[in-house]
Amino acid sequence: MKVIAVTSCTKTKKDYPCTVREMFSDSTIFKARQIYLDKTYDDWFVWDEDDGFLHPDTIIEPYGDFYISSQNQHVVGNNGTQILSKDRINTGLKVLKQQYPDTSNIELHCHLASPFVKHIEKVFTNIVHIRPQKTFPDTAWRYVDATNMFLNGESREKCNSFIDERIVKEKNKETPIWFYHPEHEPFFGTSYYLWEAYKDSIPKYMLPELFSLCIGKINISHGWITNPDYLPYLKRNTKRWSISKSAPGYKHKGKARQRQGIKEELLKLGSLK
């Protein structure tokens, strides 16, 4: 049975005609997948909802942004972004059926999100789904690590299983603490109760950020801090509050706990033959 792989396009694109692999090469997750697929498969493609499976060396024109379902987007209608209609998806599947009228002897490895696979399985009967992780950085790093595994002698099947394996992160638990703000009295409690007390000024979508503040992942949220020594060093412009880096004991957090250096790793892997 012939084995081929397929992945998806990305929102990040070049603004000029070029090959499929170049069109999406500015996307970290696409680049990580592309390098892995180049090294582990003889044939792999990108699924285009209009033109079926595109070979990575096919030259294409830039095009607008579309999502296959509302679950795959953050804002509907932003910069021309649209959800693909059922008619358009069905038309694309007809093209795919013309490309592959007999799929009985093909095993398709789908390096795709579930909404894509649900449509492609209407054409392909032998499918192996290699699922993405919950976040783009986690997914991209999985492909980087899997590529290194393959180069060190592991089988493609084991590498695919590693990519698909769910990353289980330790859940952070918050406990009541003191919050401080230059315009409000100190508040003792959890992030949710802080929002409850000040929900007229703190949007509900800020709750995850308040939680990150409470467990120490970030320094500030909506002007609230947990280190009172920072109070004299808070600044506010028309959009947000910030802390001067000259504050005593200030430590930048944000991405400090995230794994770094993926672009350098991709450059190294991409240069290997």
What pLDDT digit, counting tens, does each position of 129-149 carry? 999 998 888 999 999 999 999
Residue 77 has pLDDT above 60, yes or no: no
CA distances from 70 to 76, 85, 115, 131, 229 (A): 8, 11, 10, 18, 44
Q: Which two tokens stand for residue 176?
A: 């009541």
Q: Find the helix or strand (DSSP H, E) in which 184 lies.
A: strand 184-189
Specify the pLDDT at position 59.
96
Tokens at residue 123, please? 């054409």
- What does the block give as tokens for 246? 């000259």
| Helix H or strand E encompassing 136 | helix 136-151
pLDDT at residue 82, rounded to an integer: 57
pLDDT of res. 63: 74
SS3 per residue for 55-122: CCCCEECCCCCEECCHHHCCCCCHHHCEECCHHHHHHHHHHHHHHCCCCCCEEEEEECCHHHHHHHCC
As a whole number, mean pLDDT of residues 14-41 equals 95
DSSP letter assigned to residue 145: H
Task: Specify the pLDDT at position 67.
Answer: 54
In percent, the amount of the chain with pLDDT more than 90 equals 63
pLDDT, tens digit, 9 for 90 and up, residues 247-257:
888 877 655 45
Distance CA 131, CA 166 (A): 9
The residues spanned by each domain of the chain are 2-168, 177-256
pTM of the complete model:
0.70
